[in-house]
Structure 1
Amino acid sequence: MSDSTKQHVTVIGLGRMGSALADAFLTAGHPTTVHNRTPEKAAPLIARGARSAASVAEAVAASELVVVCVLDDAAVRELLAPAADALRGRVLVNLTSGSPEQAREQAAWAAAHGIGYLDGGVMTTPPGIGDSANMILYAGSPELLAAHRETLAVLGDPVDLGTDAGLASLYDAGLLGLMWSVFGGWLHATALTGADGVPAKEFTEVAVRWLRTVAWFMSGYAGQIDAGAYPGDDATIDVQVAAIGHLLHAGEARGVDDRLPRLHLELMREAVAAGHGGDSYARIIEAFRTK
């Protein structure tokens, strides 16, 4: 597709993420209109060829595909509600972070006004925008995503989560929780090994390789969770209770904070006390479920 035939795109919201989104569209040759409540933020993008719109309605009118990325759900509503008529018949891609419930409400609002809607979760930071190795999650309309996939793919790899508009935000929340848990475990382990003089870079090379094995465990445990059965064929909770004792001992000997491993130990001991010591670690999911 030549630049002259590439889809026109509008980006509303020019914080760090919104600016990165607009920059990626420009880099890929898409005619790009931008709008921000503080017009000065558009200057670097205008210098690169973007067109600045003085109002949301003007910005919306410029393109069939409208991407919004602002502070929060309240800001989305404040900006777009007065422009509902201008948005009618267009496609709104909401890449603003929010809750699943807010995404579903936005989707219902869009449907009531004849606006195509995709809710998205950006699974990278601004420097990662434009890299196909990074995911952007989409939910709400597989048909709309298919129709605009080529354009949206310049931002990152588009992952279709289906028709429930809340799923992109739900996955986003869950994946961030996973990220923080991994960071926490890695930082604790790096402090532990670092106490004996191991450089963080050297330990991390081995840790990253280990995470591939951890991913293999996760894939296997996912089937157990869906089936509601947790056979301890690989390693039982009983065995892991003993193993975490070594971690606690090593940390105590080196003055490393033990709150994180003790949380894991508490969850394991609860499972053992309930008679599930012979199950796999996947059984721990029941501790997080409240209904």
Structure 2
Amino acid sequence: MGTALARAWLGAGHPVTVWNRTAARAAPLAAKGATVAASAAEAVAAGRLVIVCLLDDASVGDALDGTDLAGRDLVDLTTGTPGDARSRAVWAERRGARFLDGGIMAVPPMIGDPSSGGYVLYSGSAELFEEHRETLAVAGGTTYVGADPGFAGLYDIALLSGLDGVFTGVLHAFAMLRREDIAPTAFAPLLVDWLAAMAPLAHEVAGQLESGDYRTGVTSNLAMMVTGTRTMRRAAKEQGVTTELFTPIWRLMELRLAQGHPDEGSAGVVDLLLT
């Protein structure tokens, strides 16, 4: 990802100084015009805007430990938790730097391609974001989600959680067909269209959570959905497919129903997930 980001800025004509913990990996960027720093400290000293994208938050601390960040604008695009970002913001400010955290909602081939739909969530210093907005936009769409440095990471992980849930269903769907004479590539367009058609139901859940009324506007009530899961279990058994991927959510739905909420949608399950 770091290489993809650097390539995007180089392609847009920005002067870029790079540093990689594995020095050889910076060579292709040097061939494209990047200046290769011998150390992280040298890279930081090269310019006011410092972009960091490493394996995890601990790697960020290790790489930047001992560097002079005074007067620098530090943008951390490393995937981490909200707590990581909040702690890193305090860490940066104590060292005289403004801080912005970023959550990249893209894979490397999408970086620098305006048509890809990729974007980056940012939170932290609003002044830093506005000052460097055009430069940051070279990598992908920019969405500022608040002054709390943890919000970009929170949005990022929440969105990834939604994606993981969708692909859990995708894997189960293909397993259901696996032993039949049905080409996965023939089924995939139907699956994609179905998921796209159903995705807007997230707005229904969001509205119910905001209002606190989990019954108004319900498209499919909990009693019906729980009944439907029994058919899904039987169908899976017939196809020789485990329901292990779905068992946890089905149990929560059954629990919410048992608590006396047959006319709700699925929004009430959110409350059962809170610890």
| TM-score, normalized by the shorter chain, greater than 0.5 | yes
1:247 maps to 232
2:80 maps to 98
Contact 1:139 1:167 (C-alpha < 8 Å) held by counterparts: yes
Q: Distance in 1 between matches of 2:124 and 2:56?
A: 19
How far residue 44 of structure 1 moved from its aligned partner, in angstroms, is 0.7
**Any idea what the Cα deviations from partners look like across 1:71-121, whole Å, max 9, x if unmatched?**
22122112213113xx21121111112221111111112222221111111
2:30 maps to 46
1:113 maps to 95
Q: Distance in 2 between matches of 1:64 and 1:129?
A: 22
How far residue 130 of structure 1 moved from its aligned partner, in angstroms, is 1.5
The alignment partner of 2:142 has SS state of: strand
The alignment partner of 1:220 has SS state of: helix
Q: Distance in 2 between matches of 1:221 and 1:46?
A: 49
How far residue 213 of structure 1 moved from its aligned partner, in angstroms, is 2.7
- The answer to whether residue 107 in structure 2 is matched with residue 125 in structure 1 is yes
1:75 maps to 59
How far residue 142 of structure 1 moved from its aligned partner, in angstroms, is 2.3
1:4 maps to none
**Long gaps (5+) in structure 2:** none
Structure 1 residues 220 and 60 mapped into 2: Cα distance closer, same or farther (>3 Å)?
same
How far residue 159 of structure 1 moved from its aligned partner, in angstroms, is 1.2
Q: Distance in 1 between matches of 2:255 and 2:222?
A: 10
The alignment partner of 1:285 has SS state of: helix
Aligned positions of 1:135-174 closer than 5 A? 135-174=119-158
- The answer to whether residue 49 in structure 2 is matched with residue 65 in structure 1 is yes
Structure 1 residues 101 and 262 mapped into 2: Cα distance closer, same or farther (>3 Å)?
closer
Contact 1:100 1:170 (C-alpha < 8 Å) held by counterparts: yes
**Any idea what the Cα deviations from partners look like across 1:235-255, whole Å, max 9, x if unmatched?**
110011111222212111110
Q: Distance in 2 between matches of 1:148 and 1:44?
A: 26
How far residue 41 of structure 1 moved from its aligned partner, in angstroms, is 1.5
The alignment partner of 1:259 has SS state of: coil
Quote the sequence identity (%): 44
Q: 1:205 aligns with which of 184, 189, 192?
A: 189
How far residue 50 of structure 1 moved from its aligned partner, in angstroms, is 0.5
How far residue 38 of structure 1 moved from its aligned partner, in angstroms, is 2.6
Contact 1:248 1:261 (C-alpha < 8 Å) held by counterparts: no
- The answer to whether residue 241 in structure 2 is matched with residue 222 in structure 1 is no
1:192 maps to 176
The alignment partner of 1:260 has SS state of: coil
Q: Distance in 2 between matches of 1:263 and 1:190?
A: 20
Deviation larger for 249-258 or 126-135: 126-135
Q: 1:278 aligns with which of 246, 263, 271?
A: 263
Amino acid aligned to 2:25: K
Higher helix share goes to which structure?
1
The alignment partner of 2:106 has SS state of: coil
Q: Distance in 2 between matches of 1:178 and 1:152?
A: 25
Q: Distance in 2 between matches of 1:277 and 1:159?
A: 38
When the two structures are superposed, what TM-score results if normalisation uses the length of structure 2? 0.93
Contact 1:244 1:261 (C-alpha < 8 Å) held by counterparts: no
Aligned residues: 272
Q: Distance in 1 between matches of 2:118 and 2:204?
A: 24
Amino acid aligned to 1:151: T
1:35 maps to 19
Contact 1:116 1:144 (C-alpha < 8 Å) held by counterparts: yes
Amino acid aligned to 1:158: T
How far residue 128 of structure 1 moved from its aligned partner, in angstroms, is 2.0
Contact 1:118 1:141 (C-alpha < 8 Å) held by counterparts: yes
How far residue 131 of structure 1 moved from its aligned partner, in angstroms, is 2.6
**Any idea what the Cα deviations from partners look like across 1:130-185, whole Å, max 9, x if unmatched?**
23311211110222212211111111111111100011111222222221111110
Structure 1 residues 190 and 168 mapped into 2: Cα distance closer, same or farther (>3 Å)?
same
The alignment partner of 1:195 has SS state of: coil
Q: Distance in 2 between matches of 1:38 and 1:272?
A: 54
How far residue 201 of structure 1 moved from its aligned partner, in angstroms, is 2.2
